[in-house]
Amino acid sequence: MFFKKDTPSEEKNSLINLFKNHISPGKVAFFKKYHMDFVMGHRNGSWLCDLDGTKKLFNLHSNGGVFNLGHRNKEISDVLKSQLNFYDIGNHHLLSKPRAKLAALLAKLLPGNLNYTIFGVSGGEAIDTAIKVARAFTKRTKIISVYGGYHGHTGLALQTGDMSYRVPFLFDSTDFIQVPFNDLESLKAVLKNDVAAVILETIPATLGMLMPEEDYLKTVKELCQSNKSLLILDEVQAGLGRTGKLWAFEHFDVIPDMVVLAKGLSGGIYPITATIINDKLIDVFKDDPFIHISTSGGAELGCAVVQKVLEITAHVDFLKHVNSMAILFAEVLQDLQKKHNSFFRGVRQKGLMIGLELTDSLAGPALTKAAYDNDLLLIYANNDTSVVQLLPSLVITETDIAYIVKQLDKALKQAKLLHKALILKKGLGQLFK
Ligand SMILES: Cc1ncc(COP(=O)(O)O)c(C=O)c1O
């Protein structure tokens, strides 16, 4: 009764079958079950269209920040097109002008001694690199992360994350320790002289945009310093203007030893990531500068894309825009929260990094589905499903916000009914991993 049904076109049906037979039968079955078998077709700005044009969605998830500047941002794609006349991936053994210029720009935009960049392709790879550097520098093996944090699905990144992602793949090393976020006492208890680094998302997104308590990050850095451990901040989702400052850690009066950037760095067009390390850590590569490589990391074509992303994102007017949209969002969300307060309990927000706190763990999946039925793509936080993440593009407008509020209001009404049905039937499963 709650599910809208559309009849898919022949082309769409056959693509869904290809996906089922050659990529993931499980995902196809899941999306079909919930009548969410959307196949991405045309996309532009904040909008996504289904392949057969029967449905459109306003993207309020932005793939965790990949689409900070919207889908197919023209300025970004023009840069990529122009680079194709001259560049390709480049050669990871050789010196490179685009990589050198981009690394210098990152150093200029980052505070402190964060002066060296190691490029990669995926966020997980960039986290793995940070952990490798921490271990090589400190000659220690242990890494502390937080329960419910998320840093990727590659080897070392996976080890810092939730058990549910590790156990099926038989990853269970005692070198990786977890403590609750915002809990300094638990951290102190495990921060011993065998700890290479503490790794945190500045604002943990998969945990539902939990905000660091006052002085938490600053104290973590001080504790690390006195223990000769390193602090790695993962700004894969929180960085690049998302919170209204270029770097989210700027809100918290802390400078990490390493910063990891991914997702939005790509401009949604060319995958590229960066592990930026401080001056002292470059010593790790003193004896052998070839001990770490990434063949396509920092591809020369992608470097120009990132230059443009940074030029747009670091601009004072851009950050002003993010902050004024954030104020508007705060106002309208407060009104919606009052109206639906039995279901919608509160808002976590820093700039346009927003979490909607809902009544319980079934409410996030319920609102995700109801939002989809009302043409909004938003997704609950996988490690706290009582929270729905709201990550609009940073180029969102007042008109967009008026549309979102109208649709979200309808979605909240529908989600309450769906939520009741879920309580009776128990569970919508995990909608999106
Ligand atoms: C905070 C954070 N760190 C790291 C990653 C890993 O990035 P990737 O999926 O590009 O490996 C993600 C991905 O969602 C993330 O949200």
What does the alpha-carbon distance between residue 353 and residue 243 come to, in Å, rounded to a whole number? 6
**Torsion angles phi and psi, residue 59, rounded to 5:** -80, 110
Percent of the chain at pLDDT > 70 equals: 97
Distance of CA 63 to the CA centre of its chain: 7
Residue 399 predicted with pLDDT over 50: yes
Ligand 1 atom closest to 262 (CA): 10
C-alpha 2 to ligand 1 mean position (Å): 32
What does the alpha-carbon distance between residue 259 and residue 265 come to, in Å, rounded to a whole number? 13
What does the alpha-carbon distance between residue 85 and residue 406 come to, in Å, rounded to a whole number? 45
Residue 426 predicted with pLDDT over 80: no
What's 120's domain CATH number? 3.40.640.10
C-alpha 65 to ligand 1 mean position (Å): 10
Q: What value does the mean pLDDT take over residues 40-49?
A: 97
On whether both 140 and 276 belong to a single domain, the answer is yes
Ligand 1 atom closest to 206 (CA): 16
Distance of CA 74 to the CA centre of its chain: 22
What does the alpha-carbon distance between residue 340 and residue 412 come to, in Å, rounded to a whole number? 7
The CB density around residue 17, as the number of other CB atoms within 10 Å, is 11
Residue 207 corresponds to which tokens in the numbers above?
Answer: 């945990």
On whether both 330 and 404 belong to a single domain, the answer is yes
Give the pLDDT confidence score for residue 3 in this predicted structure: 42
On whether both 272 and 401 belong to a single domain, the answer is no
Tell whether 66 is covered by a domain: no
Residue 2 predicted with pLDDT over 50: no
Task: Choose among 4, 64, 68: nearest CA to 38.
Answer: 4
Give the pLDDT confidence score for residue 6 in this predicted structure: 58
Last residue in a domain, options 259, 294, 313: 313
**What is the per-residue burial (b if ≥16 Cβ within 10 Å, else e) of 64-83?**
bbbbbbbbebeebbebbeeb
What's 394's domain CATH number? 3.90.1150.10
On whether both 292 and 337 belong to a single domain, the answer is no
Residue 282 makes CB contacts below 8 A (sequence gap 6+) with 115, 116
Residue 431 predicted with pLDDT over 60: no
Ligand 1 atom closest to 65 (CA): 16
Give the pLDDT confidence score for residue 268 in this predicted structure: 98
Task: Choose among 63, 14, 55, 17: nearest CA to 36.
Answer: 55
pLDDT tens for 97-115 read: 999 999 999 999 999 999 9
pLDDT tens for 55-87 read: 999 999 999 999 999 999 999 999 999 999 999
| Candidate of 61, 119, 125, 151 to mutate for ligand 1, largest count of ligand atoms within 8 Å of Cβ | 151
On whether both 363 and 275 belong to a single domain, the answer is no
Residue of the CA atom closest to atom 3 of ligand 1? 151
pLDDT tens for 170-227 read: 998 999 999 999 999 999 999 999 999 999 999 999 999 999 999 999 999 999 999 9
What does the alpha-carbon distance between residue 22 and residue 4 come to, in Å, rounded to a whole number? 27
Give the pLDDT confidence score for residue 423 in this predicted structure: 85
On whether both 80 and 226 belong to a single domain, the answer is yes
Q: What value does the mean pLDDT take over residues 301-318?
A: 98
On whether both 309 and 330 belong to a single domain, the answer is no
C-alpha 269 to ligand 1 mean position (Å): 16
User: How sure is the predictor about 424, in pLDDT bands with cuts at 50, 70 and 90?
Assistant: confident
Ligand 1 atom closest to 237 (CA): 1
C-alpha 50 to ligand 1 mean position (Å): 25
Tell whether 109 is covered by a domain: yes
Tell whether 431 is covered by a domain: yes
Tell whether 61 is covered by a domain: no
On whether both 304 and 330 belong to a single domain, the answer is no
Task: Choose among 350, 352, 340: nearest CA to 391.
Answer: 352
Task: Choose among 433, 432, 68: nearest CA to 248.
Answer: 68
Residues with CB under 6 A from ligand 1: 64, 122-124, 127, 150-152, 201, 205, 234, 236-237, 262
Classify 82 as helix, strand or coil.
Answer: helix
C-alpha 171 to ligand 1 mean position (Å): 18
On whether both 287 and 329 belong to a single domain, the answer is no
Tell whether 68 is covered by a domain: no
Residue of the CA atom closest to atom 8 of ligand 1? 123
Selected residue with higher pLDDT from 340 and 1: 340
| Candidate of 62, 150, 160 to mutate for ligand 1, largest count of ligand atoms within 8 Å of Cβ | 150
Q: What does the H/E/C string look like for 327-366?
A: HHHHHHHHHHHHHCCCCEEEEEEECCEEEEEECCCCHHHH
C-alpha 117 to ligand 1 mean position (Å): 18
Residue ranges making up the domain that contains 16: 7-26+40-54
C-alpha 410 to ligand 1 mean position (Å): 31
Residue 433 corresponds to which tokens in the numbers above?
Answer: 């991993």
Give the pLDDT confidence score for residue 421 in this predicted structure: 86
Tell whether 389 is covered by a domain: yes
Q: What value does the mean pLDDT take over residues 372-388?
A: 97
C-alpha 86 to ligand 1 mean position (Å): 30
Tell whether 62 is covered by a domain: no
pLDDT tens for 244-297 read: 999 999 999 999 999 999 999 999 999 999 999 999 999 999 999 999 999 999
| Candidate of 236, 237, 275 to mutate for ligand 1, largest count of ligand atoms within 8 Å of Cβ | 236
Q: What value does the mean pLDDT take over residues 313-334?
A: 98
DSSP code, position 2: -
Indicate the number of domains in the chain. Answer: 3
On whether both 80 and 196 belong to a single domain, the answer is yes
Last residue in a domain, options 293, 313, 333: 313
Residue of the CA atom closest to atom 4 of ligand 1? 151
On whether both 256 and 385 belong to a single domain, the answer is no
Instruction: Give the predicted TM-score (pTM) of the model.
Output: 0.95
Tell whether 47 is covered by a domain: yes
Residue 428 predicted with pLDDT over 80: no
On whether both 329 and 300 belong to a single domain, the answer is no
Residue 359 CA: distances (Å) to CA of 286, 343, 387: 53, 5, 9
Task: Choose among 329, 343, 418, 339: nearest CA to 373.
Answer: 418
Residue with tokens 């599910």: 3
Q: What angle separates helix 316-339 from helix 300-313, to the nearest 10 degrees?
A: 70
Across all residues in the chain, what is the average pLDDT? Answer: 95
